Amino acid sequence: MLRDAALVAGKDLRIELRSRVALNQVVPFAAAVVLLFGLALGPDRSVLAPAAAGLFWIAVLLSALLATQRSFAVESADGARDGLRLSGLDPAGIFLGKVGAVVAELLVLEVLLAFGVAVLYGAHLAGALVLLGSCLAASIGLGAVGIVYGAVASGLRVRETLLPLLILPVAAPVLLGATKAWDEALRGTPSHALGWLSLLAVFAVVYVAIGVVAFGPLLEDA
């Protein structure tokens, strides 16, 4: 299974490098969202700095939506979806591979965005370990939910509107946990973030497990 996962992840990432969609479209989208928050809340640093974590993670959440939809758009070209089914790859491997690719893209996005937020909102980045830890756990959670729901909604014409409606409520705990973890880190008390990190970790494990079990039948029916 892991061999198949590595194969699929490699394929997705190679396609991403070739087409550069995540880098050329999703990262600028996240930057735009962060800028818009600045416009909406006004230039006053005392307002933006404390809200930096929350705004950052909303931008990441919305970008994760785009990344997962992109991940499934890759398969829709020229019957590649049937190709994937016919390839005899283990569905759980395909799931883990696609989640791995999305998580890699999200981590790159989060690093770039973190500097953007630090500059725009004047939030000074501290407690790097907690910041990275929460990014990893949150990205895995978001990736897993995104890919599972992506498969649920993939064959449908209403995919673009249905996917956000399905994913966002489920991802609410990730937004909450990640924001709180970052708040603690930015406020210089990273030790308090442990509870929130464990919440993110539990969320990620639960939804990866569901994905591994559910992806097979999902790939077949869609």
Partner 1 sequence: MPSLRSRLVTLVGWLALVGVIATVWLGLFVTPDAVGFPDGLVRLLYVHPPMAWVAFVAYGMAFLSSLLYLWPRTRDMRFDRLAGASAEVGVVFTGLTLVTGSLWGRPTWGVWWTWDPLLTTTALLFVLYLGYLALRRVPGDPEAVAGRSAIAALIAFVDVPVVYFSVSWWRSLHQAPTVDFTGRHLYVHGSMAWTMLLGFVSFTLAYAWMTARRYRLASLAVQQEDEGLAHAIAERRAEGRVLV
Partner 2 sequence: MAPAAVRLREAVALAGHFPLLAGVSFEIDEGEVALVRGPNGAGKTSLLRLCCGLLALRSGEGTVLGHDLSKDRRGVRRHVGLLGHQSLLYEELTVEENLRFALRASGSPADRAPAAVLRLGLTGRLGSTPVGRLSAGQRRRTALAVLLARDPGLWLLDEPHAGLDQEGRELLDELVAEARARGRTVLMCSHEHDRAAALSDRVIWMVGGRIVKEPVGVA
Between vectors from CA 174 to CA 171 and to CA 180, what angle results, nearest 5°?
Answer: 145
Distance CA 47, CA 84 (A): 48
Q: Does 18 bind partner 2 (CB under 8 A)?
A: yes
Q: How many residues bind partner 1 (CB under 8 A)?
A: 33
Q: How many residues bind partner 2 (CB under 8 A)?
A: 21
Distance CA 36, CA 185 (A): 24
Q: Does 210 bind partner 1 (CB under 8 A)?
A: yes
Q: Does 156 bind partner 2 (CB under 8 A)?
A: no
Interface map 161-180 toward partner 1 (x if CB under 8 A): -x--xx-xxx-xx--xx--x
Q: Does 151 bind partner 2 (CB under 8 A)?
A: no
Q: Does 195 bind partner 1 (CB under 8 A)?
A: yes
Least Å distance, CB 149 to partner 2, is 22
C-alpha closest to that of 180 among 63, 59, 61, 50: 50
Which residue is listed with tokens 């299974």? 1
Nearer to partner 2, 76 or 198 (CB): 76
Nearer to partner 2, 175 or 214 (CB): 214
Tokens of 220: 């077949």
Which residue is listed with tokens 């089914």? 85
Residue range at the interface with partner 1 (CB under 8 A); choices 4-12, 78-86, 107-115, 214-222: 214-222
DSSP 25: I
Secondary structure string (H, E, C) spanning 153-207: HHCCCCHHHHHHHHHHHHHHHHHHHHHHHHHHHHCCCHHHHHHHHHHHHHHHHHH
Instruction: Provide the binding-site residues for partner 2, judged by CB under 8 A.
Output: 4, 7, 11, 14-15, 18-19, 74, 77-80, 82-83, 85-89, 216, 220
Instruction: Provide the binding-site residues for partner 1, judged by CB under 8 A.
Output: 145, 148-149, 152-153, 155-156, 158, 162, 165-166, 168-170, 172-173, 176-177, 180, 195-196, 199, 202-203, 206-207, 210, 214, 217-218, 220-222
